[in-house]
A and B are shown apart, each in its own frame.
Chain A
Amino acid sequence: MPERRTIRTDYLARVEGEGAMSVRLADGMVEHVELRIFEPPRFFEALLRGRSFREAPDITARICGICPVAYQMSAVQAMEDVCGVEIPEPIRLLRRLLYCGEWIESHALHVYMLHAPDFLGYDGAVELARDAPDVVERGLALKKTGNEVMSVVGGREIHPVNVRVGGFYRAPTRRELRVLVEPLERAREAALETVRWTAGFDFPEHDVECELVALQVPGSYAVEHGRIGSDRGLDIAVAAYDAHFVEEHVERSNALHSRRTGGEAYLCGPLARFSLGADRLSPLAADAARESGLETTCRNPFRSIVVRSVEIVYACDEALRIIDVYDPPDEPFVEVEPQAGAGHGATEAPRGLLYHRYVLDAEGTILDAKIVPPTSQNQLAIEADLRGVVGRHADRPDDELRDLCEQTIRNYDPCISCATHFLDLQVERR
């Protein structure tokens, strides 16, 4: 009889939302690893059918309370693609500024409240705050600055209401944006301190091997648009996404897992963005990355906390640059007339590539919607990493193994709000 053991926990802390995870070991060998996910996007895809294309930004913003801008930006881009509309540069820059606010807010939340406690031996941010209130206040201040950017540009911190297909309902004045300069300058300093702080953590030597996928824009760190690229030479227009990536339904789960069409797992998010675009960071962010000890690529998911911190520096820097050159557009939006057809949008959500595809009829009614969030794209890569972690540490006691699994998952900042329901960790040893 093989030696088999079972470990169960009720939930996995400090991951956005809820999900389930099970691991089965027999005689020290990993038999099965599964991250079960339940996906609100499936519900939203159904909800969107029959609605006007103009409603998509407001509806999709509700998919996630952490990254509403990402959903809006991919949605409007896809709608503008269907209708053949080009967005003028000032509006594109405003969108990028709004997105910078979301990166700052989301990354600060993950770095300080959810991820850092793993490296410092705390159960969570509350315990960290008791010992190091200044550190946690720094994280909260950063997060608040991100919220302020979203509030000024987007109209509301969570679920910005100012975004529409074609642009914005109202463009902020120069004076309104100038109000953000001082907080952003302070935030940039705090972000640099964040890089120095996280760079001092202990990181296990651990690289993942899968293909890294991120948007690419010549001369710029990709945020709100770009072509889809990878470290293995992929270079495609967003419209070609479905020819290169497939979603498959997984038994015993509501989830769709994404794979490359060849069947392999791939990884999107901060590690992919950084590894493909480190040379396009702003000089300040690039210097911070170098001083932190990051090389030009990073495949160690534990170090993603440093990469996120560098991306906060970049987002502050980039937001300040945009505010500096901001010239309010003559019109806050371009009039978009509906057209029948299909359109595609992809942007870099804080957690990685977020792909939308819509089919409209001539009146602009949504006939079909497809939304692929970053966490479901990363799911196979996370499972592969977990399988390796469990295999290498199968001799550890159950509690330690469970902690390792939890941290492994948190390294990827999975946004379970948009990808998973009830993260109920089960390690079964049989």
Chain B
Amino acid sequence: MSGRVVIGVGNVYRGDDGVGLSVASLVRGRVPADVAVLECEQEPTRLLDAWEGADVAVVVDACAAGGPPGSVHRFDVSSDPLPARGFRSSTHAFGVGDAVELSRALHRLPTHVVVYGVEGVAFDTGAPMSAPVQAAAEQVAAAIVRELETEQRDA
């Protein structure tokens, strides 16, 4: 295994869009030592650099796919694209799904890529993260830690 990375995507000043960054800070220090934890504040083409050289990447972003606030989706995008519509609530012209597909087209996608999407409700500038999304951040952080620990044991 040459590298594993957790990447939180979002904007801390846009309410629930900050959930990816929140999860990144929650998992820092709790994931196995070989895992790098990064934040990507807007502009997701930077994801291509963030997961460069990694075998495993776990990405967390807010989404608005129509589910109840705080509900969590987990997508394994190693082989299949991210469902298109849900991930455009973040303020990114070039979304996480685009970054995954661009990386795939260029044969630069890590072998195993998982995207967690947390359903947001408040994306206004300056809004605090909503209570259900805050709770979901804890839940996603715990799931990621578990997932990476299990993977390490199985490796």
Which residues does A use to contact B, with CB under 8 Å?
11, 13-18, 38, 40, 43-44, 46-47, 62, 64-66, 109, 113-114, 124-126, 129-130, 133, 136-137, 140, 143-144, 147, 157-159, 416-417
Chain B residues positioned under 8 Å from A125 (CB to CB) = 94, 98, 102
Interface of B is mostly: loop
Residues on A with C-beta less than 8 A from B46 are 147, 157-158
Chain A residues positioned under 8 Å from B49 (CB to CB): 144, 147
B22: CB under 8 A from chain A?
no
Q: Return the chain B residue nearest A106 by Cβ.
A: B43
Contact of A158 among B13, B43, B92, B106 (CB under 8 A): B43
- Which chain B residues border A15 with CB–CB below 8 Å? 93
B55 close to chain A: CB less than 8 A: no
Bound-state Cα–Cα, A140 to B94, Å: 13
Query: Which of chain B's residues have a CB closer than 8 A to the CB of A159?
Result: 41
Distance of A109 Cα from B92 Cα, bound (Å)? 12
Q: How far is the CB of B62 from chain A (nearest CB, A)?
A: 13
Nearest 8 CB-CB pairs, A to B?
Answer: A65-B42, A129-B105, A43-B125, A126-B101, A16-B93, A40-B125, A43-B126, A65-B43
Interface residues on B, range: 20 to 34
Contact of B106 among A64, A129, A147 (CB under 8 A): A129
Which positions 1-43 of chain B face chain A at CB distance < 8 Å? Answer: 11-13, 40-43
Over the window 95-110 of chain B, the binary record of Cβ atoms lying under 8 Å from chain A Cβ atoms (1 yes, 0 no) is 0001001100111000
**Of B13, B43, B48, B98, the contact of A124 (CB 8 Å cutoff):** B98
B98 surroundings in chain A (CB, below 8 A): 124-126
Q: Which residues of B contact A133 (CB under 8 A)?
A: 105-107
Provide the residues of chain B in CB contact with A129, threshold 8 Å. 102, 105-106
Assuming A65-B11, A109-B43, is B102 touching A114 (CB within 8 A)? Answer: no
Judge whether B152 is part of the interface by a CB distance below 8 angstroms.
no
Flag whether B45 is at the interface (Cβ < 8 A): yes
Tell me the B77-92 residues at the A interface (CB within 8 Å).
88, 91-92
Chain A residues with Cβ under 8 A from B45's Cβ? 109, 113, 140, 143
Q: How far is the CB of A422 from chain B (nearest CB, A)?
A: 10
Bound: A16/B41 CA distance, A: 14
Residue on B nearest A144 in the bound complex, by CB: B49
A19: shortest Cβ distance to chain B, in Å?
Answer: 10
9 contacts between A and B (CB under 8 A): A11-B88, A13-B93, A18-B91, A44-B13, A113-B94, A129-B102, A158-B40, A158-B42, A417-B91
- In this complex, what residue of B is CB-closest to A13? B93
- Chain A min CB distance to B15 (Å): 11
Known: A43-B13, A147-B49, A416-B91. A136 touches B42 (CB 8 A): no
Q: Hey, which chain B residues are within 8 Å of A130, CB to CB?
A: 105
Residue among A46, A130, A416 facing the most chain B CB atoms (10 A cut-off): A130
Closest to B44 in A: A65
Q: Are A14 and B93 in contact (CB under 8 A)?
A: yes
Task: Please indicate the chain B residues that have their CB under 8 angstroms from the CB of A46 in the complex.
Answer: 126
Q: A65-B43, A113-B45, A125-B94 are in contact. List 20 more A-B contacts (CB 8 A).
A: A11-B88, A17-B93, A18-B88, A18-B91, A40-B13, A43-B126, A44-B13, A65-B41, A109-B43, A109-B45, A114-B94, A126-B102, A129-B102, A129-B105, A130-B105, A136-B105, A137-B106, A143-B45, A144-B49, A158-B42
